Chains A and B, each alone.
Chain A
Amino acid sequence: AQRVTQPEKLLSVFKGAPVELKCNYSYSGSPELFWYVQYSRQRLQLLLRHISRESIKGFTADLNKGETSFHLKKPFAQEEDSAMYYCALKTSYDKVIFGPGTSLSVIP
């Protein structure tokens, strides 16, 4: 079955602390993984995608096919990082599957 799981509904970290948002997927084909973010009162927007291997706003994510994971990491959390984060999987049939989301709260 195709599935994306994000085990933490809520995650609180102190400003300046490292943050890791977990994402695991289940898919037998070749996956394309993404992280989307929704800041308060803003639209859902793409944060990063695994194929571009880029760092956006200090966030990185590495696709680990062995562990079927795509965890999002940032070494030093900032208050403006507080938001809802969604991990998403695009299948080879172009279906898009979103995880349930993790609400990140950065405590000043």
Chain B
Amino acid sequence: DSGVTQTPKHLITATGQRVTLRCSPRSGDLSVYWYQQSLDQGLQFLIQYYNGEERAKGNILERFSAQQFPDLHSELNLSSLELGDSALYFCASSVGDRTHEQFFGPGTRLTVL
């Protein structure tokens, strides 16, 4: 599958814990975007990386951080987890840093108990 992949599919953890979500972009795509989708907030843009560097920032909490590695995969780190962090986290990729079409991954469902 040459599309965007995300691991794990599901993650259940407790409040106060820290988790790492992983995303591999489509082959050839240099940009990675992270989104959070919750029932009450909808789809929220968190952050974008382009070729290893932060490109744009959205509503990302200070407890959250991300990075993009030399092989272009990206990780989203969520720490001091709260119940309200339970959501679907999507990763998307695109060819360029200003390219319009984003290709989405299947998402990681995070449940904080």
Contacts and interface: CB of A to CB of B under 8 A. Distances in A.
Interface of A: 32, 34, 43-46, 49, 51, 86, 90, 93-101
A60 to B, nearest CB: 17
Interface stretch (B9-17, B61-69, B75-83, B102-110): B102-110
Contact of A43 (B44, B101, B104): B104
Query: For the complex, would chain B's binding face be called helix, strand, loop or mixed by DSSP majority?
Result: strand
Interface residues of B, number: 24
A14 B106 CA distance: 30
Contacts of A32: 100
B33 interface: yes
Contacts of B101: 46, 49
Closest A-B pairs by Cβ, 8 of them:
A94-B56, A98-B43, A44-B104, A100-B42, A96-B45, A43-B104, A46-B101, A49-B100
